[in-house]
A = this chain, B = another copy of it.
Amino acid sequence: MTKRYLALDVGGTNITAGLVDQEGLVLARRAFATLAGRPPKDVINDMAAHLRAVATESSAGPPPRALAVGLPGWINQERGLLIQAPNVPGWVNVPMADIMSRMLGLPVCLENDGNLYALGEWLYGAGQGLNNLLVVTLGTGVGGGLILEKKLWNGSFASAVEIGHMPIDLKGAICGCGRRGCLETVASATGLRRLGVEWLAAGRPTGYLGRPEDLTPIILYALAQKGDEMALTIFQKAGQSLGLVLSGVVNLLGLEGVVIGGGVAGALEFIRPALWDVLARRVIIAAPEKIRLLKGLLGEDAPLAGAAALLRERF
């Protein structure tokens, strides 16, 4: 009998509750607003209600065995504690695992959202079969997770890889984290918009006629398809910065591959040439063609599939 699990993917804007089987297949899903301003207790009540709903939404099958929660912040796994989430103000030291376990009558594991994404793409997606792998998510920010020797890497602090805050340019823009020149200032949706705002402020040529602050990766992608110089240059810059950081990580750890996921990966065809150009020139540890540069396959399902990957050995 196929085992089933519940998954919760908590973002700064949206939360997704899912029901997923042990093969990483998402059987049911519900998205709702994070409502960052509300007290954690109310949001947790919402989460539980949506999880109960997805648990029964799918066609007949066994009840879910456990829940994995992907959180955009610092967690203490042993104590089941969300320590802090930068994009969800007011959530500090919330004992989420205990609370949700009591509400749902299931074991609950907390994990960083980038780590769940990485587990999903590795076990069920683009990274299948690789032993040592970095998964990068290009979204509002830049995150991800590392698989080392076929296991999710957690490090000494159960932290995320924080690849978005790897430095690319000491004299670069100020990042949302307060530091200067982080990868995220260029290679995230926020970073792409920032580059667009700069481009427009400089009066450089583009077919974009909207407001600078309305620029999204989707708009930039559409512009790039029409050959728009602004869009192509911005994606090229993102690619170069990614190539710089990813080559450093590949060289450091002797990785076989990198999977690029997250919303911005939709524009990977325009990011990839510059990324690969820099990566291929800077990779030292092996012939560049031995390093796989892969586009994520699961999209928004990746963290939900990752929940199954996290739980299937234990529950």
Contact between chains at A158 and B254 (CB < 8 Å): yes
Q: How many residues of chain A have a CB within 8 Å of chain B? A: 41
Cα separation A284 to B132 with both chains bound (whole Å): 24
Contact between chains at A156 and B254 (CB < 8 Å): yes
- What 0/1 pattern do residues 241 to 260 of A give for CB contact below 8 A with B? 00010011101111110000
Interfacial residues of chain A within 240-294, with CB under 8 A of chain B in the complex:
240, 244, 247-249, 251-256, 281-282, 284-286, 290
A140 at the interface (CB under 8 A from B): no
Inter-chain contacts of A249 with B (CB < 8 A): 252
Copies of this chain, count: 2
Inter-chain contacts of A248 with B (CB < 8 A): 165-167, 248
Contact between chains at A159 and B254 (CB < 8 Å): yes
Contact between chains at A282 and B165 (CB < 8 Å): yes
19 contacts between A and B (CB under 8 A): A74-B285, A131-B156, A148-B148, A153-B253, A153-B254, A154-B254, A155-B255, A157-B290, A159-B284, A159-B286, A162-B285, A163-B252, A165-B251, A166-B248, A167-B168, A167-B244, A177-B284, A179-B281, A252-B252
